[in-house]
A and B are shown apart, each in its own frame.
Chain A
């Protein structure tokens, strides 16, 4: 029987081959499922989602080692407070604000005011977020610290099983932070009413985010990082706004990560089909485009297939409602049409808590058939 370290090397090589746009011995499968893992092992979401990060990653390991052979896992652990750090929004928690077994949800609320752009420009991003975490997000730092502290052990625990913790850290661009903190409606109005001020603040924030991303990649010796995008999706913004406030910032962070030798995993929710051509400006064979089912993945293959590995995108609705046969059929289509070179099989975004276990098993099994 193969040693875990041999398996780990073999699986990492398989993933890296796909990222390099070559053809691995088979398509790798690198899923993600946090709330799904809790449900699968019979744990209440209120118990799983916060305050006990060590137990949470062990729950994820228990779940994913029971579903078939996977090559990697996108996130090594979970704490719902982590969502507040990248959205700068409050999160409604099961067992606190919601019934015990409901899914956590980010709350749309205007916590940052228009005058805060000036504060950011004057005092810098670090000082602003320190204050924001403490006063607007109910001392987020104290709540999220145990999760950050658990990261190295969580990554090692997966590695010890021969499973690659592929992209356990999330970084993103100023747009996403501002949009979350201002609320989407108010922020979009800012883009019309005070565009220069928004851009000036973004340009103050960006070097800090790039440096943080570099240090995370270096400090944790990461293979990949999620470069997240949700509210900055093409479907929400006209192209002039997207070209000014979104794309140049992604380009900076992607180039910095590639420079660090890390793989930027463009975990981009919602529909980005309109702007896929722009991704050709990112370094070739160094990134992963990971749409959630809303972007046309077949169009992505057409545009980016010779330039960037694609990961995805079994949709949440299919995992929740379809039959295993349907899931297998879709996965086989992905493997043959998006792969077999330059492709990693995964769910779109995150496996939902009400996914049928047999559907997740079918997804994982499809790379072995």
Chain B
């Protein structure tokens, strides 16, 4: 039964997942077990994405099914789940592109990282406040526009000035981001894609 729910989610069988969750709740099964299986389903999605069987299309669909299914479980979901690390993530100020950032958010979540997603067009002070408040292991900065490099750089500088860079890594990514960009904005690493972000984060956390 348990494996089925994970597989159903990984196979994007939306109706079956929702029906199965409702049925099991009606039978009085504890939410925590259901959550574990749904999370395992998202891990399978991540594995298939890594193997290039799945693409953004499947990430978006699976994340939506996951959201609907866990929505049926109420507060139990919010209290659940062990996380291996935490990231404050956002698209930098004056850039409203969210797709790349959202892919990273899904993949990191699948890999057990708690994602504090600040959205797009995030003012520098908001990154600083969020890092101060959430004390993440990582800060993830995304952009699609080359004109956003300077705001990315200013965000790194503001975190440096607030003493919030120490003890955590700043990762950057996005269409026009490469090693030259990393050097320019003085981030710790750049990630070519979402999977590389997850692999890098896990490596930095010492997790296999």
Contacts and interface: CB of A to CB of B under 8 A. Distances in A.
B64 A189 contact: yes
Nearest to B150: A354
A188 B61 contact: yes
A44 to B, nearest CB: 14
A24 B97 CA distance: 40
B145 A352 contact: yes
A98 B94 contact: yes
Nearest to B52: A274
A30 to B, nearest CB: 21
Contacts of A236: 55-57
Interface string A34-77: 00000000000000000000000000000000000000000000
A322 B52 CA distance: 32
A321 B55 contact: no
Nearest to B99: A184
A204 interface: no
B147 A352 contact: yes
Contacts of B176: 293, 315-317, 320, 352
Interface in B42-77: 52-58, 60-61, 64
A322 B178 CA distance: 11
Interface string A96-109: 00110011010110
Contacts of A238: 53-55, 57-58
B146 A317 contact: yes
A270 B144 CA distance: 11
Interface residues of B, number: 30
A28 B56 CA distance: 36
Contacts of B99: 108, 184
B97 A237 contact: no
Contacts of A332: none
A191 B58 CA distance: 10
A319 B103 CA distance: 27
Given A235-B56, A237-B55, A316-B146, A321 B181 contact: yes
Given A188-B61, A236-B57, A238-B57, A320 B149 contact: yes
A192 to B, nearest CB: 5
B10 to A, nearest CB: 13
B145 A188 contact: no
A120 interface: no
Given A107-B96, A108-B98, A188-B56, A317 B147 contact: no
A322 B53 CA distance: 35
A184 to B, nearest CB: 6
B180 interface: yes
A127 interface: no
Contacts of B53: 238
Of the listed residues B55, B61, B95, B180, the one surrounded by the most CB atoms of chain A closer than 10 A to its CB is: B55
A105 B58 CA distance: 26
A237 B59 CA distance: 10
The 6 closest A-B pairs by CB, nearest first: A352-B146, A320-B146, A317-B176, A236-B56, A188-B60, A237-B57
